[in-house]
């Protein structure tokens, strides 16, 4: 039995090498050198190249275990990971988190685009009428040009974000009913795909963010976190997205209640990782509990995750079967778009917020469910608290007090002006 200690090889591949397995494996190779040398190196080992992955400085290919062993010895190779399968995370709610409060104040996500990398999106009435809000479509599976969803998962997710309730006469309305949706199909009809597909999809979203005014990326998907975040291809890809100014919202996973079951790229500290709550189909949050399936932290790197939780059990949203139909689904996939939609509302209010500021304000406004940090993060998403009006009349985010307002009213000049204005108004009425 060959002993493999090379730190450049992920645990899954190391196990294959140690067992003397002689098979061809799908892998992602990351390099410290230019892509042309990496390409030539792979080809010299009789490997078949599938996709270039410039976003993370690598490529996806098929290699024999012997070739992988030899390749890892090259000084220019940074890391070799298994090209893991990525899965859509399937397993009343808007009122529970206070979205009605925000919508009543005039925030609906108008002008904000959320990219949904998933199984595609069907042209449901609630996204197409009276105005089409699916502003773009890219298919990494079948290369089609017209938006579709042959699974249903992506359509359901998009509905939680942006359904306007057209077919239900307002009954099933999403968080941001005026937001635009960018549909990116990177998962197949079975709700699965390869890590390399997702990396390329994220790269495409970044490259086209100005074209579609993309501010948020929803990833209701995940893959087992077999690698540290610094080496994980998905983690590296989402970091690039965040650094480009896009807020990335990711599902924690459906592997609970096991500890340390957070999926990639939810293990990344830069993204907003969302766990699922069972709201018991009531508006009152007092009876809410963490869904049993919701993945728990800590991460493989010892990071506390999820960041927060939102409703994810028996969520009614859009169906891909008919243009006016709805369906109920559960899972971390359903919890994630609640947060993505909320972020769209935040950015409609203040378009200058950075991804870091968005995350901080979201977490500051959560309600502590008195559960462990490994299961709830900081707590339950609450939009009413997030958009609560400050005493001065200025809307504030979270529990941050408007320090300038107190200074404003303590200024004697301003105070005198306000008194005079009040007197003038009284005289005018007479």
Tens digits of residue pLDDT in 383-421: 888 887 533 333 444 333 333 333 433 344 444 444 444
- Verify whether residue 108 is a known catalytic residue: no
| pLDDT at residue 89, rounded to an integer | 67
Element (H, E) at 53: strand 48-53
The residue ranges of every structural domain in the chain are: 11-83, 87-386, 402-430
> Of the listed 118, 232, 288, 307, which one is catalytic?
118
> Of the listed 31, 264, 319, 333, which one is catalytic?
333
| pLDDT at residue 369, rounded to an integer | 92
- Report the share of the chain in percent with pLDDT over 70: 84
- Verify whether residue 319 is a known catalytic residue: no
Yes or no: say if 291 and 256 are a contact pair by the CB < 8 Å rule.
Answer: yes
The CATH superfamily assigned to 11-83 is Peptidase S8 propeptide/proteinase inhibitor I9 (3.30.70.80)
Yes or no: say if 195 and 233 are a contact pair by the CB < 8 Å rule.
Answer: yes
> Of the listed 108, 124, 153, 156, which one is catalytic?
153
- Verify whether residue 153 is a known catalytic residue: yes
- Between the CA of residue 143 and those of 87, 120, 184, 202, what are the distances in Å? 20, 12, 11, 16
- Rounded to whole angstroms, how far apart are CA atoms 318 and 312? 15
- Rounded to whole angstroms, how far apart are CA atoms 343 and 267? 20
Phi then psi dihedrals of residue 34, to 5 deg = -70, 155
Question: What pLDDT digit, counting tens, does each position of 160-182 carry?
Answer: 999 999 999 989 999 999 999 99
- CB contact set of 350 (below 8 Å; sequence gap of 6+): none
Q: In this structure, what DSSP letter does residue 388 have? A: P
Sheet architecture: strand order including 221-222: 192-194, 85-88, 221-222
CATH 3.40.50.200 fits 87-386, yes or no: yes
Q: Please compute the mean of the pLDDT values over residues 103-124 and round it to a whole number.
A: 92
- Rounded to whole angstroms, how far apart are CA atoms 182 and 158? 9
The pTM of this model reads 0.85
- Quick one: CA dihedral 148, 117, 289, 364, positive or negative? negative
């Amino acid at each position: 039995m060959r002993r493999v200690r090379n730190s450049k090889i992920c645990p899954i591949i190391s196990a294959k090498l140690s067992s003397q397995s002689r098979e061809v494996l799908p892998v992602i190779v990351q390099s410290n050198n230019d892509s042309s040398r990496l390409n030539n190196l792979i080809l010299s080992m009789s490997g078949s190249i599938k996709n270039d992955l410039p976003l993370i400085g690598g490529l996806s290919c098929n290699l024999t275990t012997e070739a992988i062993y030899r390749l890892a010895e090259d000084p220019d190779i940074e890391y070799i990971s298994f090209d893991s399968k990525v899965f859509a995370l399937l397993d009343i709610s808007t009122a529970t988190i206070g979205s009605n409060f925000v919508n009543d104040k005039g925030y609906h996500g108008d002008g904000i685009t959320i990219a949904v990398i998933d199984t595609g999106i069907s042209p449901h009435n609630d996204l197409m009428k009276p105005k089409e809000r699916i502003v773009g479509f890219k298919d990494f599976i079948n290369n089609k040009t017209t938006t579709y969803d042959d699974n249903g998962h992506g359509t359901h997710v998009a509905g939680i974000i942006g359904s306007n309730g057209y077919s239900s006469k307002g009954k099933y309305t999403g968080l941001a009913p005026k937001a635009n949706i960018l549909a990116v199909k990177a998962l197949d009809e079975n709700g699965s795909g390869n890590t390399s597909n997702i990396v390329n999809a994220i790269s495409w979203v970044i490259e086209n963010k100005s074209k579609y005014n993309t501010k948020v990326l929803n990833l209701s998907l995940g893959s087992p976190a077999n690698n540290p975040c610094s080496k994980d291809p998905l983690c590296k890809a989402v970091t690039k997205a965040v650094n480009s100014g896009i807020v990335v919202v990711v599902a924690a996973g459906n592997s609970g209640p096991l500890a340390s079951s957070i999926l990639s790229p939810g293990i990344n500290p830069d993204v907003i990782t969302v766990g699922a709550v069972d709201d018991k189909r009531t508006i009152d949050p007092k009876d809410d509990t963490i869904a049993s399936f919701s993945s728990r932290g800590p991460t493989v790197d010892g990071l506390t995750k999820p960041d927060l939780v939102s409703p994810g059990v028996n969520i009614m949203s859009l169906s891909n079967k008919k243009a006016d139909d709805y369906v109920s689904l559960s899972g971390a996939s359903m919890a994630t778009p609640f947060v993505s939609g909320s972020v769209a509302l935040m950015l409609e209010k203040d378009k200058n917020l950075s991804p870091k500021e968005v995350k901080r304000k979201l977490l500051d406004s959560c309600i502590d469910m008195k559960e462990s940090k490994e299961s709830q993060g900081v707590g339950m998403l609450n939009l009413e608290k997030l958009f609560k009006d400050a005493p001065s009349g200025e809307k504030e985010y979270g529990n941050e007090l408007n320090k300038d307002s107190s200074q404003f009213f303590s200024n004697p000049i301003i105070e005198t002006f306000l008194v005079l204005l009040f007197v003038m108004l009284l005289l005018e009425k007479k």
